[in-house]
Structures are given as structure tokens and as C-alpha cells.
Amino acid sequence: MSVDPGGNNTIRKGKGSGIPFYLMPIIKLFFPHSSKGAELLYNGALAAEHAASGDFLINGRVSPLNFTEQAHKVLARVKTIYMKEFNPNNAQHS
């Protein structure tokens, strides 16, 4: 199961966030505290026993996955990358 925690304000005083300074006011105004995303993830984990394998939760509700017809192309591409990078028979990594 996958859970979308949504956008979260992860800016914390005294901690470097890597967020450009001009975006910080927008994040502070429009994004909820990171505890909101954590709550969604926690509740998703608890709902796992009531959800089907492969479900996708947005705001605590099962939502359809978009572009599922592309899954075979994505998996084929991941396999190609994996074989190129991690195949023990690949001479490049000998």
C-alpha cells in the first residue's frame, strides 16, 4: 500500500532545509506542519489490515492509481537500468 502524505512544512528553526529562501514564506503559509503528513502515514499503516494490496491512500481514502497502463513500461525501464548498473556480468563494473 502507498500513502500520500501531501505537502508538508518541514522548515524548522535552526535547521538547514535546502529550500530556497524565496519559497520559505510560501511553505510557511500554505503547507501544514509535518505532523499532519506523519499522521496520514501512521493512519495508513494502521489501515493496512483493512486495505487491499496495491491500494493508494490520499487523505485517508483509497484512490485509483493514474497511468496504471504504463506500469509494464516503467518496470521494463527499471530492469534495464538495474541490469546496466548492477549486473555482475557487466564488464564495466569488473
Domain range list for the chain = 2-93
pLDDT at 73: 93
Mean pLDDT in order along the chain per 10 residues (94 residues): 84 72 85 88 79 78 82 92 84 50
For 28-35, which contacts have Cβ atoms below 8 Å and span 24 or more sequence positions? 31/7, 32/6, 32/7, 32/8, 33/8, 33/9, 34/8, 34/9, 34/10
Ramachandran angles phi, psi of 83, nearest 5°? -65, -35
Q: For residue 92, what pLDDT is reported?
A: 54
Query: For position 69, what pLDDT does the model report?
Result: 86
Global confidence as pTM: 0.56
Q: How many CB atoms lie within 10 A of CB 8?
A: 16
**To which residue does cell 501512521 refer?**
42
- Residue 47 has a pLDDT of 74
